[in-house]
Structure 1
């Protein structure tokens, strides 16, 4: 197969020339599968589209499959496939949640039957039917042929329905608990592989805390640094980097950069105004740092809107409207978010004051409309797509240019909206979840002073909200998200001016004095530490 050609079409007439068996596209199945279109991506990766009855409903028939090559795999596939197509594949169909392993012949045959059933339902006027995960699966013909890389997929949610193909826009089904676990495991595996791609030995970076953004942008102007491990030395600080200093430096960097380059409230987009367009090229470097930070932290360093991230990765503005609308609510501040949510849920109850506020809301974004209940959702979707997909597109393109090619091929093109849901779980921090990650170094506690102070810590975490809770996590773990490992708590008996909580970010360990006599005293001193600049400096390992 010539992977240099832009698009290769394989039909019944040219199946023999292409190396595919004639029976794969037999006349008896022409109604279900007219054409198989293969879009070569690189030597081992292809996008496959199956055209149904002459109409390519791409949003649910796109499949990204990995072609497994090699002598052993080829021989095994020949022995299992009578047609000797010599191509073993591993594929996940996101539209019906079916996992298939086998040769290309068996994969296409199985998918054709499912497409035929769906096409018949569509002709009956029932629209697109999203089937649940099917129990019957293709035999594991190529189990020993699996690639070391995680299986890649292109999210079907990105591809919109063809005009007139269905009665409406496809809405992705809510994944069940088993699917969530699957996506979470796939995400962790992909992040571990991305982390393992960083090259040794680590390159030392000398960073000034007060000029952190300037220093890091300057360092990452070198494209090769995006694929190397780094070790951080904070100038005028004594901390030794065993991983925690670098994590804290990257977390602090994105906290500062977010205010300069990424507007938003709970979810953010890359964008700067016309007055700052001289800094547009910075987004190329920011894309490089974004991918490197994801590899180093094994998590996304900033909660960019899912829709915007899809624009950055796949270079498309056609994102599912429901996803765009959900992201837009997170992008807005609390007041506007509540106004938009009320207009969507019960427009008629807004009243004159509410409708006037809604009119001012649209005017703020340069959109003048006639407010009507029947069209308010459409107007909000158009506004959300403009703000989250179209407006930041040029900055997304710059960030994509900065991402190393190896990172893009291995990790970013495998990301789907379901994977992003699992990756963003770490940003949904609540006190109960943080407390569930707290462990005492010695348990059970027998010292009454330790028991008392440990109770103070529990009450403090329950009282922390929003930014204060994030600051606590950064103080202890160097990251502003749910920790991936437990936080160990130890105790000491320091008193006087030396009394304060001490954190080791490299080991996620918190040490607290037992000399506090009241919760108010404990909370006051702890909050002073969290809000002080000294808490951000490294004075120990």
Structure 2
């Protein structure tokens, strides 16, 4: 049996050295009850490399009604290999993606889900990626489930080439056309959910997770870079000192940047206690809060006053830079693409300042689409400006996301146009792709406008497809 197999391999131009290795590794230890039957004599020799390079494309045809029956006299099982493909096309065929990856769409055609599944089931199988290849880059279209945006977006960004690709995204079962607005909403939803699993308060630092390996952390880094380069989406709640370390190295983080980031990392109570401790004005009522902080960071006593500053800086370095060191190393592999945007620490900190959605800066974004307004339009526009200026930080972020799809400032202006809607049809309508707000001029007073803005902004921020759908119809 082994001699027959050896002759078969030699007839297929398999090198003698490979045959020896196969015998040594017992790869040719075929059971005696099996018999190879050569059905490939009609295939020309110049196609024999298909057995090595396209083995996954071979199909085993099994007819359960015949040809596999066994008798007591015949213990031989016959396996028929059928290369049912055009050999000229086999060498250029794209292999199917692994089952663990999102469904890939090449060109304009989609790999359909099984026909026996209902349509709503097919939509929720996995994130879907379509790509059209070109010489230097490719167009990628991704379908994201809002309820698992972190998981789906990570699957899209596992591919390192996504940075150079043109990416368009949309949410499953939500009618929208992505002209920047939908992508901004996807990135914003991702960072909102991701940062909930991070350490800290106003500024947060990623923590090691058992479900995240190196590839997941690198994908998160690509999401940060891609959102910044394509849409100026910068998650300002992600610690600035942490990002400086990812891009320029831990040694480049200055003490001022580290301490500023650490102050925002702490809660308001801990922040007050640390500030008093650094100034030497710590009171007894604050000592317990400071002791709780030092205990959480690994120390079980409050250091003396002469070493307090050094101890706090060491604690900040540990929390912001040392504990997430592995994550910093993973991020740094992809952050090189951001160097043109933020070549040094000062440019990054300046970008953080410009993107933070401070109430005053959000109000300054409002611009009317017409230079001359009617008296009613001017009055309603003044009401809108007053609403934004009087809003707290949370409401300002919701209003910004309602108008642009992002909770950080990533547009130069928000254009306000006016409509004559009234009654039950009256409502503010936002077109996030163009950062435009359609506002009825039929509000009779400021409380009238404020009531509807408070009612609609949080709701449409979470379910904004009707706004985008209106924009798509224009």
Scaled by the length of structure 1, the TM-score of the pair is 0.58
Matched, 1:380 2:312: yes
Matched-pair contact (CA < 8 Å) for 1:254–1:302: no
Partner of 1:486: 413
1:310 aligns with one of 244, 247, 251:
244
Matched, 1:411 2:340: yes
1:430 aligns with one of 337, 358, 364:
358
Matched-pair contact (CA < 8 Å) for 1:437–1:487: yes
Q: What are the superposed Cα offsets for residues 146-191 of structure 1, whole Å, 9 maximum, x if unpaired? A: xxxxxxxxxxxxxxxxxxxxxxxxxxxxxxxxxxxxxxxxxxxxxx
Query: What stretches of structure 2 of length at least 5 have no aligned partner?
Result: 1-134
User: In structure 2, the residue corresponding to 1:442 is in which secondary structure?
Assistant: coil
Aligned-partner Cα distance in 1 for 2:231–2:416 = 22
Matched-pair contact (CA < 8 Å) for 1:226–1:404: no
Matched, 1:369 2:301: yes
Partner of 2:225: 291
Matched-pair contact (CA < 8 Å) for 1:431–1:464: yes
User: How do 1:445-460 and structure 2 match up within 5 A?
Assistant: 445=373, 447-460=374-387
User: In structure 1, the residue corresponding to 2:352 is in which secondary structure?
Assistant: helix
Query: How far did 1:440 drift?
Result: 1.1
Seen in structure 2, the aligned counterparts of structure 1 residues 263 and 415 have a Cα distance that, compared at 3 Å, is farther
Partner of 2:211: 278
Partner of 2:291: 359
Aligned-partner Cα distance in 1 for 2:254–2:381 = 47
Partner of 1:152: none
Aligned-partner Cα distance in 1 for 2:420–2:252 = 60
Seen in structure 2, the aligned counterparts of structure 1 residues 396 and 215 have a Cα distance that, compared at 3 Å, is same
Partner of 2:114: none
Q: What are the superposed Cα offsets for residues 213-243 of structure 1, whole Å, 9 maximum, x if unpaired? A: 2211111112222321201122212211122
Matched, 1:268 2:204: yes
Partner of 1:177: none
How many pairs align? 333
Partner of 2:404: 477
User: In structure 2, the residue corresponding to 1:511 is in which secondary structure?
Assistant: strand
Partner of 1:238: 175
User: In structure 2, the residue corresponding to 1:206 is in which secondary structure?
Assistant: strand
Seen in structure 2, the aligned counterparts of structure 1 residues 451 and 424 have a Cα distance that, compared at 3 Å, is same
Query: How far did 1:457 drift?
Result: 0.4
Partner of 2:368: 440
Query: How far did 1:205 drift?
Result: 0.9
User: In structure 2, the residue corresponding to 1:278 is in which secondary structure?
Assistant: coil
Aligned-partner Cα distance in 1 for 2:289–2:210 = 31
User: In structure 2, the residue corresponding to 1:375 is in which secondary structure?
Assistant: helix
Matched, 1:467 2:394: yes
Partner of 1:206: 143
What is the RMSD of the two structures over their aligned residues, measured on CA atoms?
2.3
Scaled by the length of structure 2, the TM-score of the pair is 0.66
2:253 aligns with one of 319, 330, 346:
319
Seen in structure 2, the aligned counterparts of structure 1 residues 278 and 400 have a Cα distance that, compared at 3 Å, is same
Matched-pair contact (CA < 8 Å) for 1:199–1:229: no
Aligned-partner Cα distance in 2 for 1:202–1:368 = 55
Matched-pair contact (CA < 8 Å) for 1:359–1:371: no
